[in-house]
A and B are shown apart, each in its own frame.
Chain A
Amino acid sequence: MLSPDTIKDIINQNLDCEFIDVKGDDGTHFEALIVSKLFEDLSIIKQHQLVYDALGKMMQHEIHALSIKTMTPFNWGKLQKME
């Protein structure tokens, strides 16, 4: 069964992240939060495309439902202060 940690590792290997968290324990539905400097000055579409690129062929096969939330370190920092 596909685990959130596997998805996390693959994204981490292929995309330079400041922070990443992947949740989901039914093997099918996952939620990922990714914080990366690479997202700065990119449209949200391009940010998500970077995550999809990092996962490559997994998106066509193993992963059926992945919800993605991307943030820049700046916005991530603001959120941390609020919490």
Chain B
Amino acid sequence: MSVDLRIKELINNHPVLLFMKGNPKFPQCGFSSLACQILDASGANFHTVDVLQDQEIREGIKVFSNWPTIPQLYIKGEFIGGSDIMREMYESGDLAKVFSDI
């Protein structure tokens, strides 16, 4: 299966999906850690993919989203952004709105 198809399958199977470095218990970068904290604070049930365990996904997701950094958040198949955008949306209340629609 191509990496694009693998990514599509992942984002279709998980309504809230975070591509990150490490996992929520042991995030391997400050931005991934922040992203998990924001999702926790939003009360979201989320699934994570550790890109450090999968080099193909790590490079593939950057091309797929046209976004050069990790973490990356997808909600209902739609790219939401990285940790800066997540923080802005959390602070403005926009993220809570997105989650209330799920």
Contact = CB atoms under 8 A, between A and B. Distances in A.
Interface stretch (B4-12, B43-51, B62-70): B62-70
Number of contact residues on B: which range applies?
10 to 19
B85 interface: yes
A65 B33 CA distance: 13
Contacts of B79: 45
B25 to A, nearest CB: 21
Interface in A48-83: 48-49, 52, 59-60, 65-69
A10 interface: no
A42 interface: no
B68 A69 contact: no
